[in-house]
Amino acid sequence: MALETRVLQVDEWDVWYDHLELAFGGVPESPAERKLYRRLTETERSLGVWDGPVCVASAGAFTFRLSVPGGALVPAAGVTMVGVSPTHRRRGILTSLMRRQLDDIRAGGEPLAVLTASDPAIYGRFGYGTATYALSVDIDTTRVRLSVPLGTDGVTVRLADPLAVLDDCERVYAELLAGRPGMPARRPGWEHLPLLDAPAMRDGGSPLKCVVAEREGAGGGVVGYARYRVKPEWDLSGSDGKVEVTDIDALDPAAYAALWRYLFGIDLTWTVRAHRRPVDDPVLHLVSDVRRSRPGVRDSLHVRLVDLPAALEARTYGAAMDVVMEVEDAFCPWNAGRWRVVADAKGAACVTRSEEPAELRLSVRELGAAYLGGITLTSLAGAGRVAELRPGAVREASRAFAGDVAPWLPHGF
């Protein structure tokens, strides 16, 4: 029987999602997780491959607006729920799904596609470049101290029910969007993702807790929050508890430091761990000993330019440039060829087809990596992934593309 690829119907969701769980190891998600993802799934943007009554492959997309350098929120397809059954691998199914999906994204007018990768080696061949990285810290609070800036005396912290203060926390998140590329604006329903708290997610830790930082007076209210779990552990010498931080955000340095000071001071704990943080997280400059904070880095958001000129014109640039780029894009050939990218002194860009000699040569994968400003074209050129055809062109373009802060994806999707 021939395989059939079709748009997901609402009454097929459970079978489709059962397949996805199997593709990712077969461990069932909690009822709360499953209920939330059923609510968030955009069935009209979800594809299934069927072998008779059996779903053997899937791919979906969420409708996002992604913060880019300059603060604009750009339409982006959040590629998700991609999986192929182990019985149907090596048949070109994934490639066919990526083909169909990118064609649909282009037809829908979204200039970007983004994803997080269970296996980062998979998606480069479809034009996705690693645009953000995530920092993890594992801080030994018995030997590491915080250097707290002035102003924390005006900040108070209090424990709160995570759901009761959700609106306040979302307001803080929304205020941070424009200043940090890579963050998706959260559509209704997505605010509940950070509150998922199934017992299987706790790894022996407590239910999710929330502490908010507040200021009094005009412009006060909640100015920061941290969500965390406490994992009590004991050995022969006594307590050896750990604090697992799932989210921490604040609108100013004093509030941010006050939240970290609170987390460092939780009784019977001697380690604070945080994952999926920006690689330029200020906590690296608050701690007295980075080595004993054991920082680590891994890939996070992968970016694919679907409509190259629209994507490049949607962001702001940090310096003027006028560079002709020869772009390779075998999977989306409408992007391939020579493009003249001109950014003025205010950072606005105009991108047009060009017959002029190329000054840089790179693939759309490198453009995706550099798009959010965290990966420099200079570093990619150093790895041989960008070719300079005019002396000085790499430096000129790299300075323009680079951002002031590291891009960051705060949560998966």
Q: Crossing angle, helix 31-40 and helix 13-23, to 10 degrees? A: 120
Token pair 């150093």: residue:
382
Torsion of CA 106, 306, 276, 284, to 10 degrees: -140
Catalytic positions: 123, 413
290: closest CA among 154, 137, 111? 137
3-state secondary structure of 168: helix
Phi, psi of 195 (to 5 degrees): -95, -5
Q: Are 404 and 271 in contact (CB under 8 A)?
A: no
β pairing state of 296-299 and 349-353: unpaired
Distances (CA, A) of 388 to 5, 114, 377, 394: 42, 27, 10, 6
Phi, psi of 354 (to 5 degrees): -140, 145
Length reported for the chain: 413
Radius of gyration of the chain (CA): 23
Query: Which amino acid appears at position 295 of this protein?
Result: P
